[in-house]
């Protein structure tokens, strides 16, 4: 077996939230975790178990109270805010439950925005954004604004935006939370393709059938990893969509 | 529902922007008023000084020639604007006219001395230089006494100082209010844009980049506040001059322009600085926190 490249390495990550002067919430107690290139991981656990907290740290939106986080060879747990912004721009693609699109900008502009911060020229931006929008099958909606798109289409725009910078990891927090089951499956189909193309994906969900798409399932409980297993029964998009269509 | 809440937030934000501009305007108006008063005060105290001057009382046995000699030597000095010789008789006549008492007939003689009224140019008329001239004059044989109204000069200065302090106090108070208003506006505006800010953070915009539009808005607020304040100041000046036409003699266009430039600069500095600080503060609070509160 060829040597696998480490993308994420967490060592004894602790995150405490202070509420007022006295109360401390231990959102993450001691999380150690390694994720390799081209892994497809689902993060599960009951409400309040620390999934979003872990996502925020993985996504460089927040820094841990203690512990070390190495992302693609860089120690990010001690970086300044501006450096973290840069890492978010280059290394991470986010997809969230709410689509987080700019409401007054077209799909194309939304997808191209990370390239603005990365300093690409306008023609490069348009070319790259169009290419990615094509890859999520939205080439006929390029000039539409978010309110002119369906929920599934909006999430595909968000997905395209997450992919546009060729990030090291795609982080998705409940990406299908706002979508009905058929649309959810379509989005999961897109994640499957993205994974096949060589991307590393971490997806937070509390729906078992969504988690079944991932190849590895990590369960959190009270801020600690309760289990970390290979998924023995990976759901395939082709099969799943056929089932849903048959049911109707 | 989110839409309605957003609309409400937007309306609050608009009111908030407006009250911020009003606050900034008031601070600048007060500062400008202070400036106008200080500018006029200098002119006014010059005016007072030029018009008070000195009374030199002369000995009873002085000869007219000596008086005229002294008057000439005073007139020859650069800082003396004018001199006037008031004889015993003239002094008595003025006094009788003013008091209505014919004390000369009553007493049988005229107790009033003859005197020289001396007026100075403004730049000479501070208390110290008056003292030096006083000692010099007292050495003259014809001079009995030198009298000048020290108190009027210092009274004018003292009153102006008090008024300036009061206005300065007011300005400080208004400044605090304005900073609080700006803070509140920024908080609301960060809140109403929290999704947008979150999105920008997600895709890697630096804090500087996110801050920029807010700070630009603060800058514009400062400029608008300054413009309105200047218009108000011009109106104030206009009405003050209408009520007290003498003020027109004190006016100095070049100084006014300098003052207005100062007011504009202050406006920009105040709103820029407090916007910068407020944005920094509210962006540090994770937008997560704003979502749920
Ligand atoms: N900003 C915060 N301040 C204080 N406590 C927080 C904060 N964010 C999260 N917590 C606490 O940390 C714990 C973990 O929260 P987290 O949001 O990570 O849970 P979660 O697993 O994402 O839950 P859910 O499935 O409901 O989204 C919770 O007990 C929560 O109350
Ligand atoms: Mg969560």
Predicted pLDDT of residue B89: 83
Q: Most B CBs within 10 Å: which of A62, A95, A100, as the mutation test of the B interface? A: A100
Could you give the CA distance from residue A87 to residue A76 in angstroms, rounded to a whole number? 8
Please tell me if residue B2 touches chain A, with a CB cutoff of 8 Å: no
pLDDT over threshold 80, residue A49: yes
pLDDT confidence bin for A125, thresholds 50/70/90:
very high
Q: Report the share of chain B in percent with pLDDT over 70.
A: 86
Choice between A152 and B41, residue whose per-residue pLDDT is larger: A152
Of the candidates A98, A103, A95, A237, the residue with the CA atom closest to the CA atom of residue A169: A95
Structural domains for chain B: 2-47+154-292 (no CATH), 54-148 (3.30.70.3040)
Residue nearest to atom 5 of ligand 1 (CA): A17
Portion 169-228 of B in contact with A at CB < 8 A: 195-196, 198-199, 201-209
- Asked whether B263 and B35 are in contact (CB, 8 A), the reply is yes
Distance from CA of A209 to the nearest CA of B (A): 27
pTM equals 0.69
B197-B189-A178 Cα angle (round to 5)? 45
Predicted pLDDT of residue A139: 87
Nearest residue of chain A to residue B284 (CA atoms): A81
In testing the pocket of ligand 1, which one of A27, A42, A44 has its CB within 8 Å of the most ligand atoms? Answer: A27
Please state, rounded to an integer, the average pLDDT across all residues of chain B: 80
Indicate whether residue A219 lines ligand 1 (CB < 6 A): no
Left (φ > 0), alpha (ψ -120 to 50) or beta: where does B38 sit?
alpha
pLDDT over threshold 50, residue A71: yes
Indicate whether residue A43 lines ligand 1 (CB < 6 A): no
Could you give the CA distance from residue B259 to residue B90 in angstroms, rounded to a whole number? 48
- Asked whether A76 and A103 are in contact (CB, 8 A), the reply is no
- Asked whether B199 and A101 are in contact (CB, 8 A), the reply is yes
- Asked whether B203 and A94 are in contact (CB, 8 A), the reply is yes
From the centroid of its chain, how far is CA A12? 22
In ligand 1, the atom with minimum distance to the C-alpha of A18 is 4
Give the 3-state secondary structure percentages of chain A, helix then strand then coil, rounded to 5: 40, 30, 35
> Are A117 and B288 inside 8 Å of each other by CB?
no
Indicate whether residue A53 lines ligand 1 (CB < 6 A): yes
- Asked whether B287 and A96 are in contact (CB, 8 A), the reply is no
Give me the sheet containing A66-71, strands edge to edge: A23-36, A6-19, A66-71, A74-75
> Are B204 and A86 inside 8 Å of each other by CB?
yes
In ligand 1, the atom with minimum distance to the C-alpha of A206 is 25
pLDDT over threshold 60, residue A2: no
The values of phi and psi at residue A73, to 5°, are: 85, -10
Mean pLDDT of B33-53: 74
- What is the end-to-end Cα distance of chain B in Å, rounded? 16
Left (φ > 0), alpha (ψ -120 to 50) or beta: where does A119 sit?
left
Predicted pLDDT of residue B293: 46
pLDDT confidence bin for B6, thresholds 50/70/90:
low
Nearest residue of chain A to residue B287 (CA atoms): A61
Predicted pLDDT of residue B261: 93
Residues in chain B within 8 Å Cβ distance of A82: 206-208
Structural domains for chain A: 6-247 (3.40.50.300)
Could you give the CA distance from residue B237 to residue B257 in angstroms, rounded to a whole number? 13
In testing the pocket of ligand 1, which one of B284, B289, B292 has its CB within 8 Å of the most ligand atoms? Answer: B289
> Which tens digits make up the pLDDT trace of B248-263?
777 778 888 988 999 8
Q: What ipTM does the predicted assembly reach?
A: 0.75
B47-83 per-residue burial string, b: 16 or more CB within 10 A, e: under 16? bbbbebbbbbbbeeebeeebbeebbeebeeeeebbeb
Q: Report the share of chain A in percent with pLDDT over 70.
A: 98
C-alpha distances in Å from residue A48, one per residue of A66, A67, B114, B292:
20, 21, 101, 15
Mean pLDDT of B78-99: 81
Of the candidates A134, A174, A177, the residue with the CA atom closest to the CA atom of residue A157: A134
């Amino acid at each position: 077996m060829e040597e696998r490249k480490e993308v994420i390495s967490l060592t004894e990550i602790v995150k405490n939230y202070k509420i007022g002067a006295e109360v401390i919430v231990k959102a993450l107690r001691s999380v150690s975790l390694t994720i390799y290139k081209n892994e497809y991981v689902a993060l599960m656990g009951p409400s309040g178990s620390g999934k979003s907290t872990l996502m925020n740290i993985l996504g460089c939106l927040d820094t841990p109270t203690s512990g070390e986080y190495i992302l693609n060879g860089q120690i990010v747990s001690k970086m300044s805010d501006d450096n973290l912004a840069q890492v978010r721009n280059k290394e991470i693609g986010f997809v969230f439950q709410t689509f987080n699109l700019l409401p007054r900008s077209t799909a194309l502009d939304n997808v191209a925005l990370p390239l603005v911060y990365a300093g690409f020229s306008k023609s490069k931006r348009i070319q790259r954004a169009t290419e990615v929008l094509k890859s999520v099958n939205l080439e006929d909606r390029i000039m539409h604004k978010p309110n002119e798109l369906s929920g599934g289409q909006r999430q595909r725009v968000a997905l395209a935006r997450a992919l546009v910078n060729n990030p090291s990891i795609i982080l998705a927090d409940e990406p299908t939370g706002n979508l009905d089951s058929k649309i959810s499956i379509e989005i999961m189909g897109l994640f499957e393709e993205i994974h096949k193309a060589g991307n590393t994906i971490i997806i937070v969900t509390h729906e078992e059938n969504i988690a079944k798409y991932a190849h590895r399932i990590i369960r959190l409980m009270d801020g600690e990893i309760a289990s970390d297993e290979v998924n023995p029964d990976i759901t395939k998009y082709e099969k799943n969509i056929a089932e849903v269509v048959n049911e109707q | 529902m989110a839409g309605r809440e957003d609309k409400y937030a937007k309306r609050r934000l608009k009111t908030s922007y407006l009250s911020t501009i009003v606050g900034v305007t008031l601070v600048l108006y007060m500062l400008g008023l202070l400036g106008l008063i200080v500018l006029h005060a200098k002119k006014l105290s010059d005016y007072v000084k030029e018009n008070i001057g000195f009374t030199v009382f002369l000995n009873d046995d002085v000869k007219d020639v000596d008086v005229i000699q002294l008057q000439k030597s005073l007139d020859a000095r650069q800082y003396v604007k004018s001199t006037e010789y008031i004889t015993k008789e003239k002094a008595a006549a003025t006094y009788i006219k003013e008091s209505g008492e014919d004390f000369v007939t009553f007493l049988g003689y005229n107790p009033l001395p003859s005197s020289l009224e001396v007026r100075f140019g403004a730049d000479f008329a501070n208390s110290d230089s008056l003292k030096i001239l006083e000692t010099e004059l007292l050495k003259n044989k014809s001079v009995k006494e030198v009298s000048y109204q020290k108190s009027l000069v210092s009274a004018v200065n003292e009153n102006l100082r008090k008024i300036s302090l009061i206005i300065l106090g007011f300005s400080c108070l208004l400044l605090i209010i304005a900073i609080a208003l700006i803070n509140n506006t920024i908080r609301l505006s960060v809140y109403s844009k929290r999704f947008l800010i979150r999105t920008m953070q997600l895709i890697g915009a630096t804090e500087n980049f996110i801050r920029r539009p807010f700070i630009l808005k603060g800058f514009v607020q400062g400029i608008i506040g300054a413009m309105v304040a200047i218009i108000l100041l011009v109106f104030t000046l206009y009405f003050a001059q209408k009520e007290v036409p003498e003020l027109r003699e004190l006016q100095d266009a070049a100084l006014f322009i300098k003052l207005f430039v100062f007011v504009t600069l202050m406006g920009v500095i105040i709103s820029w600085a407090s916007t910068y600080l407020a944005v920094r503060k509210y962006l540090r609070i994770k937008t997560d926190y704003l979502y749920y509160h």
